[in-house]
């Protein structure tokens, strides 16, 4: 899955993806940037 990396300032491929639920109940996906290793977060299924 692709997500926006804040550190690279571009869309990157996400590694170690896992489905999480935010405090307000919305679904999201959390992962790690394949280039720099920064934590990434994408809201939605």
Q: Determine contact, residues 10/4, Cβ cutoff 8 Å.
A: yes
Structure-block tokens of residue 33: 């940037």
Region at 6 (left for phi over 0; alpha for psi -120 to 50; beta for the rest): alpha
- Round to whole Å and give the CA distance between 3 and 35: 12
pLDDT reported for residue 1: 87
* pLDDT over 80 at 45, yes or no: no
For the chain, the domains span 2-43
| pLDDT tens-place string over residues 16-44 | 999 999 999 999 999 999 999 999 999 98
Give the pLDDT confidence score for residue 13 in this predicted structure. Answer: 94
pLDDT of residue 20: 95
- At 35 the pLDDT is 93
The pLDDT of residue 19 is 95
């Amino acid at each position: 899955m692709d997500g926006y990396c804040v550190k690279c300032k571009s869309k990157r491929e996400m590694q170690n993806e896992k489905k999480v639920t935010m405090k307000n109940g919305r679904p999201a996906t959390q992962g790690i940037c394949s280039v720099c290793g920064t934590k990434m977060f994408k809201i939605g299924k």
